[in-house]
Amino acid sequence: MAGPGTASAGVGGGGGGQQVTAASNLPANALLSYKRTWWRRVAPCLAFLAAFSTAMALLLVWSEAAALRRQAFDANMTRDYVLYSVSMDNPQLIAYIREVHFKPTTHQEFLNATQTSEEKYVASLTQNKREGVYIEYISRIGAMSSTAWLDSNLNWRGVLILTDPRSFFEAQKSSRNSKTRVLHSCLSTDKVIKEITYHQESEVQVTKLGEGPNSLVSSDESLPTTRLKCFPLYSVLLAYNVTTLDYLSLDSPDIQDGQVLDTIPWEIIRISVLSIRWSTHHSTTETKNLIDKLNSRRYKLVETTDTGKRIFIYSTLLKI
């Protein structure tokens, strides 16, 4: 009996050893399972943090690059460029103005052809000539054209040069002569081509406020700054394929001492009637210098309009 009991005890002892081993392995398996569960929970958070950090780093780099580009853009927008190496009669320049910048009218809108006092005087000086040729330069927002009536009623044609973008688009949609061209540009005060920053001024209108005083109201407080090319007048004339003008109108507060007129090769260009806006802030000496300068070119002052335009006529047209 002792043998079997002993054997039984031996067998029982062996089973107890396996249970002890299984019990000792249980905490290790549980720890491994816990680590795996913890990693599954933490891994998405770590991936999110890594992606977020990468995105923020890229955004910071992009912001710095954008700031540098903006600074370069601002510097470019405030810098004027002058092409000294390009002459006024350069064939490539002439073709560039004619093919790229000259825009025909599209006849989408009715042309306001009310005759101005200046046009009435010009028509009288030219004896109501038909099919005349003009160049009109306007760099004042809201200024009335002094060629619309001539264009519409006497079939004149020419180039209308405008610095204001909105005035340019309005003129392009007008029903002017099909041979008339509209140019968004400024006239250079030197015999070189320039590119400048054009600070568009806000339109100012007078509005009646009940019984109170009039107030100045700006219709656009923040109008965009644009880049504008300035061509010599002679280059524009060559692009339009004319060297003889019946009428040249310069309506700009920016023209100082007739600097645009100094760029004209007078031995080549012939202008019958010339009008220039001359501000009242000019001194008597400055006004006399302008008149003397044009007198030396055989132009005589014949009229000063109520709008501040001084009209000159080539001396051969004067009645003696």
208-221 pLDDT tens trace: 333 433 333 334 44
Closest CA to 270 of 230, 297, 293: 297
Burial (CB count within 10 angstroms: exposed 0-12, middle 13-18, buried 19+), residue 158: buried
pLDDT band with cut points at 50, 70 and 90 for residue 38:
confident
Alpha helices (runs of H) in 138-260, residue ranges in sequence order: 148-153, 165-172, 233-239
Q: Looking at the predicted structure, is the pLDDT value of residue 177 above 70? A: yes
Residue 200 is predicted with a pLDDT of 59
Buried-state track 193-232, b at ≥16 Cβ within 10 A, e below 16: bbbbebebeeeeeeeeeeeeeeeeeeeeeebeeeebbbbb
Rounded to the nearest 10 degrees, how much is the dihedral formed by the CA atoms of 45, 51, 55, 57? 90
Q: Looking at the predicted structure, is the pLDDT value of residue 233 above 90? A: yes
Q: Looking at the predicted structure, is the pLDDT value of residue 61 above 60? A: yes
* Per-chain mean pLDDT for the chain: 80
Q: Looking at the predicted structure, is the pLDDT value of residue 95 above 60? A: yes
Residue 214 is predicted with a pLDDT of 35
What gap in Å lies between CA 70 and CA 77, rounded to an integer? 10
Cα dihedral sign, 242-243-247-248: positive
Cβ proximity of 218 and 204 under 8 Å = yes
Residue 247 is predicted with a pLDDT of 97
What gap in Å lies between CA 160 and CA 137, rounded to an integer? 6
pTM of the model: 0.70
Task: Give CA angle at 286 (233, 184), nearest 5°.
Answer: 25
Cβ proximity of 248 and 275 under 8 Å = yes
Least confident of 59-68, 111-120, 207-216, 288-297: 207-216
Number of residues written out for the chain: 320
Task: Name 277's bridge partners.
Answer: 309
- Give whole-number Cα distances, 288 to 162, 178, 257, 300, in Å: 28, 40, 10, 12
pLDDT band with cut points at 50, 70 and 90 for residue 26:
low
